[in-house]
Amino acid sequence: MSQKRSNRAVVDGWVVLDKPVGLTSTQAVSRLKRIYNAQKAGHAGTLDPLASGILPVAFGEATKTVPFVQDGEKAYRFTVRWGAESNTDDSDGEITRTSEKRPERAEIEGLMPQFLGDILQTPPQFSAIKIAGARAYDLARDGAQVDLKARAVTIHSLTIEAFSPGETVFFMECGKGAYVRAIARDLGRLMGCYGHVTALRRTRVGPFIEEDSYTLDEIEAQGMAADAMLSVEAGLSELPCVVVDRDTAARLRRGGSVILRGRDAPAEGVVYAACGGVPVAFGEVIEGALEPARVFNLPF
């Protein structure tokens, strides 16, 4: 019996979604797949239902560039309520500890340098980290005590944008794998007042910023879906680009390595090659030769 053919369309590119509060990242991707009737899509970095903001969604060939976007720098604006800690480290969880103490601004600022630079951070119990094949949040929901090891993360900046005795609004820029909820938890414990996140907005993921984003309502509006779609190349914009001719592009697409020539050709590092403004492949340059790791099936 012949296999039923999909009536979904081949869609290649990026959509920078401004995800609303209350929607999971998976639900958001499903909504976009329906809007574009797309065969394949995935997101670059989970946002909790409590959170809003930048959720980059890759379609088709753009899914090959997801790791570069996920590994990029991120920025968050978040509110911490002092006086209580929850089992999820945000307001979606159950309160597990309380305190009558409320911190002074100077006390918070005095501790913030401990959270800058390369630090060790223990992820929240309710996180998407996999343990023996299961997500930590699934194990935690089942009542298991999840043993998550502290891991190295990088916090580039952490500043206070607004302060009151009961709540503080922070802005943070960080590298891959850092948890805002862990910052709230650990600051609260250090001060003995406890704390949890009540509002969170992501304002940047890798090359994508708020100015690039569209809401679901905007994308669903007539004629706007096409405007929201960025090129596959948008996910590679933080990598150096090597321009190649058609013969070289064809060789790369067959998986062959090529010697990069020219005064500006990189001798080493991760780059992507493009022909006629269209990505062909990405890979590592070793001693002047580009070894393709993945190739793109896009017309040029």
Active site residues: 48
- Residue-wise pLDDT for 90-126, tens only, equals 999 999 999 999 999 999 999 999 999 999 999 887 6
Alpha carbon separation from 243 to 40, 228, 277 (Å, rounded): 28, 26, 8
**pLDDT above 70 (res 173):** yes
Distance separating alpha carbons of residues 299 and 61, to the nearest angstrom:
12
- Residue-wise pLDDT for 264-296, tens only, equals 778 889 999 999 999 999 999 998 899 999 999
Query: Which residue, 74, 73, 77, 36, is CA-closest to 57?
Result: 36
Run of H or E including 156: strand 151-163
- Residue-wise pLDDT for 125-165, tens only, equals 766 677 666 676 665 675 667 777 899 999 999 999 999 98
* Rg of the Cα atoms in the chain: 22
Neighbours of 133 (CB within 10 A): 5
User: Using 50, 70 and 90 to split pLDDT, how confident is the model at 8?
Assistant: confident
